[in-house]
């Protein structure tokens, strides 16, 4: 490190601009160290000249701009004037770290007598708890390198949010000296997505005030349902809390780990976290316990839960108060009539049992999703005359062994030759178990192709409880189409020939009653390059970037920080645009269902007498797997069940 600093001081070059852009100095050194010399192909970081010493008592390194006397010697790609996100004021610093690269702020000399901490605000961007280190310099010589993360509120740097960090100057080895540099450096030898910094300062040796926050601050639960709460204590190294319920046992119970179980009685209750470091400091979350039946709307909300995304929305965090049915996927047919119940997860059967148990405790119904895309040939073999009886018994056995109420038969596509055996399968299931639930998903309708609404499917109506339109991803870079939304409620025309309303009404015309017909809502978005929004001609098939599993709502929220939200009142559809492309450096707009779009769909369902909605998939709506926060599911509850 001493060699590196000496090299900095001897290097000659132009001063960096405020928006940054120095070459990355990437090395292959142990974690926590800085490069002794930059790689030979990298340009050396220029040494700024004419540095003005900081005034006595001036402790600000950065607040909207560099503080007096501080100069930018950074060698990571960075910008000192981003406008979003900011912790306070109007500007912040963005940094895109390569391995071991850093932000470096230099001063002619700042006495640290009477100062105690290097304080800063850090925003992890898309990265949860990125490895960040810091060191200070005295006479252009580096003092010890320390990890920043343990000194941040809660002990971590959060993704998608600002976190305050206070690194003791004693840990940096610069207490009661005159320092001349502060470095913030990537500390694990990795390249990171952009992250942000704000309010860098040296603060006086005053004792920090203990404060406490709780997350989530509110929750709606069914009787007997559970939700995990977390607490963050700042201002003390003792971060433990004591959990309690204000109403006592009548208001539910909570474990020492923050797992709350709602009482059987509907009402409003308060969960309290009390700091053990200062018992006068408390934080409260409000829990609303609702009755186990929908609020008189008669509409269904059938949410698909996918085993391959279980880590996005752990089964013990699922909010059943926002659904009437959960459809857990998936079991798959085999051509010989047997059934695989792996649920696309090494722990699939246990996940399925947990979800069924929790659904029933909340007064909800649980169905097994059977099949899905890519299973057509297996459906054909299993439902054949030779294997159908065995298939029916194996499906019922899977239901019974896992504790389920019914089946969602996801046979797609349904070819003309498949129809007799599909109808026979549905009839035999209904005859074998008259009280079971049976649901069936169907495709959306292109208004230019009325034969898409095949009247044959009306044959299923007497035997199934729900027929749900998979009204999402209703667009593609196809010849003659304009760019359009993944799930527009209205606004269809000749060159954007589909919408949720057109699809629902097309199926009504084909003989499916409204009361058994539901719409589909995606909890993910569709991302596009080249084109910059809706109502544009596609340029090429490669305009499409990604959708299901690639752009869940959590990612959309993170990307929205640098985008602009739009609402198309004609289509009742929401989308984001980006003046600077995001994600892979090419994405210009994302179509998705916001809470505003979901509210419009709930109103349309109620006003027009349709049965309800399916969600694909509730996993992709979760924004915090630790707490189970799922803003889109909350929006569905309000739109369809209240």
Q: What is the pLDDT of residue 257?
A: 87
> CA 407, CA 465: separation in Å to the nearest integer?
10
Positive/negative CA dihedral, 84, 88, 93, 94: negative
**What confidence tens digit (pLDDT) does each residue in 467-496 have?**
999 999 999 999 899 999 999 999 999 899
What is the SS3 assignment for 80? strand
Give the per-residue pLDDT at 642.
Answer: 85
**Mind listing the pLDDT tens digit for each residue in 10-32?**
232 323 323 333 333 333 333 33
How far apart, in Å, are the Cα atoms of 213 and each of 61, 119, 154, 410?
28, 20, 10, 44
Are the C-beta atoms of 375 and 408 separated by less than 8 Å? Answer: no
Q: Alpha carbon 322 to chain centroid distance?
A: 18
β-bridge pairing 300-306 and 282-289: unpaired
State how far Cα 78 lies from the chain centre.
26
Q: In whole angstroms, what is the distance from residue 143 CA to residue 137 CA?
A: 6
Residues 112 and 44 in one domain: yes
Q: Check residues 621 and 234 and name the one with the higher pLDDT.
A: 621
Above pLDDT 70, what percent of the chain? 88
In a domain, 543, yes or no: no
Domain match, 194 and 131 both: yes
Q: Which domain holds residue 220?
A: 211-289
pLDDT band of residue 88 (cuts 50, 70, 90) is confident
With H, G, I as helix, E, B as strand and everything else as coil, classify residue 261: strand
Q: Give dist(CA 380, CA 454) in Å, integer.
A: 20
Nearest to 67 by CA among 79, 82, 77, 54: 54
Read off the pLDDT of residues 396-434 as tens digits, 9 standing for 90 and up: 999 999 999 999 999 999 999 999 999 999 999 999 998
- Whether 530 is covered by a domain: the verdict is no
Nearest to 620 by CA among 558, 551, 565: 551
Peptide bond into 617 cis (omega under 30): yes
Task: Say how far apart CA 160 and CA 101 lie, in whole Å.
Answer: 22
Is residue 200 in some structural domain? yes
Reported as a single tens digit per residue, the pLDDT across 353-397 is: 999 999 999 999 999 999 998 999 999 999 999 999 999 999 999
CA angle 46, 48, 53 (to 5 degrees): 150
Could you write out the three-class secondary structure of 445-483?
A: CCCCCHHHCCHHHHHHHHHCCEEEECCCCCCCCCCCCEC
- Please, what is the average pLDDT of the chain? 87
Confidence band, pLDDT 50/70/90 cuts, at residue 316: very high
Pair (386, 249) in one structural domain = no
Indicate whether 52 pLDDT > 50.
no
Any domain includes 529 = no
- Asked whether the beta carbons of 495 and 483 are under 8 A apart, the reply is no
The CATH number of the domain holding residue 466 is 3.20.20.80
The highest-confidence range among 220-234, 296-310, 508-522, by mean pLDDT, is 508-522
Residue 352 lies inside a defined structural domain of this protein: yes
- Kind and range of the H or E element at 520? strand 517-522
Q: What is the pLDDT of residue 259?
A: 84
d(CA 537, CA 283): 52
Q: Which helix (H) or strand (E) holds 399?
A: helix 388-402
Predicted TM-score (pTM) above 0.95: no
Question: Do 166 and 113 have their domain in common?
Answer: yes
* Model pLDDT, residue 407: 98
Q: Check pLDDT > 70 for residue 146.
A: yes
> What CA–CA distance (Å, rounded) separates 20 from 13?
14
One domain, residues 506 and 405: yes
CA distances 13 to 10, 36, 139, 545, Å, are: 10, 19, 21, 41
The answer to whether the CB of 620 falls within 8 A of the CB of 552 is: yes
> Do 380 and 514 reside in the same domain of the chain?
yes
Residue 278, pLDDT > 60, answer yes
- Number of independent structural domains in the chain: 3
């Amino acid at each position: 490190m001493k060699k590196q600093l000496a090299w900095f001081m001897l290097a000659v070059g132009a001063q960096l601009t405020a928006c940054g852009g120095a070459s990355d100095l990437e090395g292959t050194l142990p974690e926590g160290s800085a490069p002794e010399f930059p790689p030979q192909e990298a340009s050396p970081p220029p040494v700024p000249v004419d540095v003005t010493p900081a005034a006595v008592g001036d402790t600000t390194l950065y607040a909207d701009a560099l503080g007096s006397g501080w100069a930018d010697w950074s060698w990571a790609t960075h910008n000192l004037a981003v406008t979003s996100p900011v912790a306070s004021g109007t500007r912040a610093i963005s940094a895109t770290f390569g391995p071991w690269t850093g932000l470096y702020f230099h001063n002619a000399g700042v006495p640290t007598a009477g100062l105690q901490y290097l304080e800063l605000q850090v925003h992890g961007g898309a990265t949860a708890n990125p490895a960040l280190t810091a060191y200070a310099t005295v006479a252009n010589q580096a003092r010890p390198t320390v990890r920043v993360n343990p000194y941040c509120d809660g002990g971590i740097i959060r993704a998608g949010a600002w976190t305050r960090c206070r690194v003791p100057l004693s840990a940096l080895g610069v207490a009661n000296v005159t320092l001349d540099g502060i470095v913030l450096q990537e500390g694990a030898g990795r390249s990171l997505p952009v992250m942000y910094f704000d309010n860098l300062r040296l603060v006086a040796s005053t004792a920090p005030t203990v404060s406490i926050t709780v997350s989530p601050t509110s929750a709606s639960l069914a009787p007997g349902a559970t939700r995990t709460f977390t607490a963050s204590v700042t201002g003390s190294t003792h971060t433990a809390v004591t959990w309690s319920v204000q109403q006592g046992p009548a208001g539910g119970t909570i474990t020492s780990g923050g797992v709350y179980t709602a009482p059987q009685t509907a009402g409003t209750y308060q969960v309290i976290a009390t700091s053990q470091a200062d018992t006068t400091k408390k934080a409260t979350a409000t829990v609303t316990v609702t009755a186990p039946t929908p609020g008189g709307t008669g509409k269904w909300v059938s949410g698909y839960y996918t085993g391959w995304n279980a880590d996005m929305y752990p089964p013990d965090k699922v909010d059943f108060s926002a659904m009437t049915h959960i459809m857990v996927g998936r079991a798959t047919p085999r051509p010989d009539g047997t059934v695989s119940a792996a649920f696309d997860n090494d722990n699939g059967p246990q996940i399925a049992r947990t979800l069924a148990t929790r659904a029933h405790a909340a007064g909800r119904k649980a169905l097994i999703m059977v099949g899905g895309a890519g299973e057509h040939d297996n459906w054909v073999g299993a439902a054949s005359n030779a294997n159908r009886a065995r298939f029916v018994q194996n499906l019922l056995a899977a239901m019974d062994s896992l504790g389920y109420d019914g089946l969602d038969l996801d046979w797609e596509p349904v070819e003309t030759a498949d129809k007799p055996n599909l109808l026979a399968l549905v009839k035999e299931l209904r005859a074998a178990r008259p009280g079971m639930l049976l649901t069936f998903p169907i495709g959306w309708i292109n208004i230019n192709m009325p034969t898409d609404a095949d009247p044959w499917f009306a044959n299923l109506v007497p035997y199934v409880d729900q027929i749900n339109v998979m009204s999402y991803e209703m667009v593609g870079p196809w010849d003659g189409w304009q760019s359009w939304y993944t799930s527009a409620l209205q606004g269809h025309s000749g060159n954007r020939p589909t919408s949720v309303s057109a699809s629902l009404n097309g199926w009504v015309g084909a003989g499916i009653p409204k009361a058994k017909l539901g719409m589909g809502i995606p909890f993910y978005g569709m991302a596009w390059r080249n084109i910059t929004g809706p109502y544009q001609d596609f340029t090429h098939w490669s305009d499409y970037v990604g959708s299901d599993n690639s752009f869940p709502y959590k990612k959309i929220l993170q990307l929205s920080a640098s985008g602009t939200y739009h609402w198309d009142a004609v289509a009742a559809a929401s989308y984001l645009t980006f003046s600077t492309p995001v994600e892979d450096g090419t994405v210009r707009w994302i179509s998705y269902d916001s809470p505003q779009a979901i509210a419009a769909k709930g109103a349309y369902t109620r006003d027009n007498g349709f049965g309800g909605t399916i969600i694909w998939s509730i996993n992709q709506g979760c924004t915090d797997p630790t707490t189970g926060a799922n803003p889109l599911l909350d929006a569905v509850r309000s739109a369809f069940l209240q």
